A and B are shown apart, each in its own frame.
Chain A
Amino acid sequence: MTIGGSDKLDLTHYIIFAIVKIALLLFILLTAVAYIVLMERKVIARMQNRWGPNRVGPFGLLQPLADGIKFILKEDIIPDNVYKPLYIAAPMIALILSLVSISLIPFGGDWKIAGYHIPLEATAFWNGAGIQDINIGLLIILGITSIGVYGVALSGWSSNSKYSLLGSLRAGAQLISYELALGLSLIGVLILAGSLSLRQIVDAQSGSILHWNFFGGFQFVAFFIYIMAAYAETNRIPFDLPEAETELVAGYHTEYSAMKFAMFFMAEYCNMVTVGCLATLLFFGGWHSPLDGLNIPVPGIWLLVSPLFWFFIKVFFFIFLYIWIRGTLPRFRYDQLMAFGWKFLLPLAIANIVVTSFVVALRS
């Protein structure tokens, strides 16, 4: 059946393609998360002048498999005094929300398979003349980040323990404070692109490397604000006070064991991947190659694969940056953290909006 209007959507085809793409994406994402954990342990180990896991399989490559088996077979302990519905639901909320945002990320143009145009994005379709994306894709990702606070807040409260409650209140306050800086830092990008759709933001950066928002768009201040706010949103060093082992025991996931703890863990790494994807889409030209404007002759098959290749390289670099910073910086104290978010990042983000809109208004 079709839905009319100016964008022709064939509903059955859309649903079938979307289900296939989502299944593929989930498989790739969950495997990637497992191997990012391994990569983190190895890279941090090398930075600390030791080996890291290298017993299970060559170079420790089967370590995620061993970890997965361990988590599944561990005894699932539910303490007596917890509020059971929320205790079980909170890690599920965290994991589900972090997996949903990957469905809005465009990985490239579209592929023509068996006469159908299939865009490389789980929630887009071909409307006869181009790829129709979700018009408010960026806002939906921000909304998912906002709802993700509940996973943290409810887990601490339902655990019915003072360490968990304090940890979750602190984590929740940190998350909602840095959401503001995160959202405001992206407005400079929106002013330059003129649209909230992720695909159109990337299309506005096509051309050469100088058209990317970080270089030609002069959004480097916004990029640094975004990176710092995103580190706070994903609870990574230097902002990982809520889950630091030396602080409130283990913060909001003190009372969690086995599979539920693994769900929080996976949610954190999925959020890291989403942050990396968003940073490449919004500031580094998405799937465009940095050698675009140079007119280098390439074989036709490379044009099909090149968007995915460059996207992967850029996201890999951002995840490596996450791990690098983890190995290098100490963590903020709580009052330093809140002061940094409210008194430094927020005014800087607003100044960035003012300057960007001024420049755009003068240019046109």
Chain B
Amino acid sequence: MLHTILFLIFAGICVAGALNFLLQHHPVNSALSLIVVMGALAALFLLLGAEFPAAVQVIVYAGAVMVLFVFVIMLLNAGVEEQTRGSRVASILGIPGLIVFFALMYWTLSAPRSQMASVHIGDYYVPTQALGIALFREFLLPFEVTSVLILIAIMGAVVLARRERH
């Protein structure tokens, strides 16, 4: 009962935030609704027993990546969006297409299958130690590769954002 109520509250916040993200005209409003979506997703991760991904979602995604987006929007002084011909075409064709796409996924996912079980709160609770052990034993190579990836991304971002010296 409690699980259902909590899931519906946070899922409602997610969908409302995502729809607000789509419907707003100013990039800052879209960014703020995306932050709300990420917060609600962190709560959903907690309901599924993933405590460390929930914390990392708030610290990294909502607290660093979105701050970067908000900074760039503030720096570039992005104003209200204009509706061009391309966006009107995309709305008319794309939105019904997406509704069809979503209906297809819904039909696929809610078909009764013996493997799709139910989840309870605290069904599969992963303590951070277990996640760390898995990360540094089985997944050591991807871990090292992603750290090299971050280093390359830092260097790339610094080089690309530099002003040209004439």
Q: Which residues of A are interface residues toward B (Cβ below 8 A)?
A: 3, 5, 86, 135-136, 139-140, 142-143, 145-147, 149-150, 153-154, 156-157, 165, 168-169, 172-173, 176, 179, 183, 194, 196
Contacts and interface: CB of A to CB of B under 8 A. Distances in A.
A217 B122 CA distance: 34
Interface stretch (B9-17, B63-71, B82-90, B101-109): B63-71
B74 A146 contact: no
Given A136-B55, A146-B63, A169-B75, 4 more contacts: A135-B128, A147-B58, A149-B67, A153-B74
A165 B74 CA distance: 8
Contact of A157 (B51, B59, B74): B74
Nearest to B60: A146
Given A3-B121, A136-B52, A136-B128, A150 B35 contact: yes
B136 to A, nearest CB: 12
Contact of A153 (B56, B71, B129): B71
A169 B59 contact: no
Contact of B71 (A5, A169, A196): A169
B2 interface: yes
B70 A153 contact: yes
Contacts of A176: 64, 67
A90 B127 CA distance: 35
A135 B50 CA distance: 12
Contact of B59 (A135, A143, A154, A165): A143
Contacts of A5: 122
Contacts of A165: 74
A135 to B, nearest CB: 6
Taking chain A's interface residues, is the majority helix, strand, or loop, or is none over half, making it mixed? helix
Contacts of A157: 28, 70, 74
A168 B75 CA distance: 11
A289 B110 CA distance: 58
16 contacts: A136-B55, A139-B52, A140-B55, A142-B59, A143-B58, A143-B59, A147-B62, A150-B67, A153-B67, A156-B74, A157-B28, A168-B74, A169-B71, A176-B67, A179-B63, A179-B64
Interface residues on B, range: 20 to 34
A9 to B, nearest CB: 10
A135 B75 CA distance: 38
A205 B127 CA distance: 22
B59 A139 contact: yes
A183 B56 CA distance: 12
A146 B64 contact: yes
A169 B2 CA distance: 42
B103 to A, nearest CB: 35
Contacts of B64: 146, 176, 179
B126 to A, nearest CB: 11
Contacts of A173: 71
Contacts of A169: 71, 74-75
Contact of A135 (B51, B58, B71, B121): B51
The 3 closest A-B pairs by CB, nearest first: A146-B63, A139-B55, A143-B58
A143 B121 contact: no
Contacts of B54: 136
Given A3-B2, A135-B127, A196-B128, A150 B70 contact: yes
A149 B63 contact: yes
Interface in B30-63: 35, 51-52, 54-56, 58-59, 62-63
B71 A143 contact: no
A172 B75 contact: no
A156 B128 CA distance: 37
Nearest to B63: A146
A223 B100 CA distance: 57
Interface string B118-133: 0001100001110000
B45 to A, nearest CB: 11
B22 to A, nearest CB: 19
B63 A143 contact: yes
Contact of A146 (B62, B75, B121, B122): B62
A179 B59 CA distance: 10
A165 to B, nearest CB: 7
A143 B55 contact: yes
Nearest to A140: B55
Contacts of A140: 55, 58
A172 B122 contact: no
A194 B70 CA distance: 36
A140 B51 CA distance: 10
A215 to B, nearest CB: 26
